Amino acid sequence: MKKLKKRIIRIKSEEETRALGFLIAKDIEAGDVIALLGDLGTGKTALTRYIAKGLGVTENINSPTFTIVKEYRSGRLPLYHYDVYKLGDGNDLLDIGAEEYLEGDGVCIIEWADIVADVLPDDAIIIKLEYGDKESERIVTIERR
């Protein structure tokens, strides 16, 4: 088993969120799944927006809370943006046919991924967002294999 790579980053501004998003966008490949964790308002959608931008997605990114998933195909890779907040567990995710995207031709970013963790690939990239000491500060933990 490959060694886990864990990194903890402090970001202090929207500008740094943007830089992190672009950095991640450069690094991801087709088939990657990003499990995004973090409480309300920690900036999951904001980070997703910058990852999308970094991929070259031109459309506006909104949280797909009601549609569960949105597809964006204008970037370097297809992006499947999930918000699974309203789902009960992983089986709900499979029931909407998500499985075909998970090892597919694009990148999946899944907000509230802890809810559906049991059906996500074991080698998903985990990104956890937490509040820092100051209001605009966030602690980002990234763990990948």
Partner 1 sequence: MLILAIETTGKHASTAVIDSDGKYFCAESTNEMSHLREIIDLSDKALSNAGKSKKDLSHVAVSIGPGSFTGIRIGIATAATLGQMLNIPCVGVSSLEAMSTGISCDERYKSCELIVPMINARRHQIYAGVWQNGTKLPLKKLNEDRQYMIEEMTKLLSSEYKDKICLTGDGIDAYEEILKKEPGNYILADENIRYQSAKNIAMLAAIKVKAGEEVSYNNLTPDYMRLTEAEQRLREGTLSSRIKNL
Which residues of the shown chain bind partner 1 in the complex (CB under 8 A)? 4, 35, 37, 89-91, 94-95, 97, 99-100, 102-103, 113-114, 117-122, 124, 126, 128, 141, 143
Q: How far is the CB of 143 from partner 1 (least distance, A)?
A: 6
Residue whose CB is less far from partner 1, 9 or 14: 9
Residue whose CB is less far from partner 1, 23 or 117: 117
Which residues on adjacent β-strands are paired with residue 123?
none
Look-up of token digits 């459309």 = 59
Q: How far is the CB of 16 from partner 1 (least distance, A)?
A: 21
Radius of gyration (C-alpha) of the chain in whole angstroms: 14
Residues sharing a CB contact under 8 Å with residue 24, sequence separation 6 or more, in sequence order? 34, 47, 51, 54, 127
Q: How far is the CB of 37 from partner 1 (least distance, A)?
A: 7
Using the Cα atoms of residue 82, residue 86, residue 90 and residue 92 in order, give the sign of their dihedral. negative
Structural tokens at position 143: 């763990």
Q: How far is the CB of 15 from partner 1 (least distance, A)?
A: 26
CA angle (95, 102, 33) in 5-degree steps: 125
Residue whose CB is less far from partner 1, 34 or 61: 34
Residue whose CB is less far from partner 1, 59 or 99: 99
